Amino acid sequence: MSQPFPPPTEVIPHRQPFLFLDEVTGVEPGLWAEGFWRTTGEEAFFAGHFPGRPTLPGVLMAEALAQLGAYVVLLDDRFAGKLPLFGGLEGVRFRRQVTPGERLDLRVDVLRLGRRAGKARGKASVEGVAACEAELMFVAVPA
């Protein structure tokens, strides 16, 4: 696929305030994708998680990886007209605190991709230091 890559909103159904993928920087449909989410500090969840020490919730790091996973899957022609839904998470590890204003670099590698379901490995990092790692499972349903 030639650059620039389609913006996330042209590929995945997520929208603000639940869009956690700013840009895709590399992709091979059905195989892998890279992108990022830059937190601004203006996101509402920082005010309550945690007052005085704002921290990106780990589940939102996992969601950002899932959104990149949806992007790589939906670019595969086999999934045209489908909606990939979370099927589960395995081996999730949170390795680093992420604070307002930091850029979360994302990478997803597809491990298995069937007609109706799949599995991928995702890693989120800040300046090369792992923040979250997980295996993501999904099922594809009609959109």
Q: What is the pLDDT of residue 11?
A: 96
Whether 49 is catalytic is yes
Task: Please check the confidence at residue 1 and state whether its pLDDT lies above 60.
Answer: no
Report percent pLDDT > 70 for the chain: 98
How far is 115 from 81, CA to CA, in rounded Å? 13
**Nearest CA-CA partner of 31 in 60, 71, 61:** 71
pTM for the full predicted model? 0.96
How far is 62 from 137, CA to CA, in rounded Å? 12
pLDDT band of residue 4 (cuts 50, 70, 90) is confident
42's CB contacts (< 8 A; 6+ apart) are none
Q: What is the pLDDT of residue 3?
A: 63
Task: Please check the confidence at residue 77 and state whether its pLDDT lies above 70.
Answer: yes
Q: Over range 132-139, report the average pLDDT.
A: 98
Contact 1, 28 (CB under 8 A): yes
Measuring CA to CA, how many Å separate 82 from each of 60, 61, 128?
23, 23, 33
Q: What is the pLDDT of residue 45?
A: 96
How big is the CA angle at 72 (ends 66 and 76), to the nearest 5 degrees?
A: 135
Task: Please check the confidence at residue 2 and state whether its pLDDT lies above 80.
Answer: no
One-letter amino acid for residue 86 of the chain: F
Per annotation, catalytic residue among 49, 95, 103, 119? 49
Q: What is the mean pLDDT of the chain?
A: 95
Class in CATH terms, 8-142: alpha beta
Q: Would you tell me how many other CB atoms lie within 10 Å of the CB of residue 10? A: 9
Report percent pLDDT > 90 for the chain: 95
How far is 67 from 8, CA to CA, in rounded Å? 9
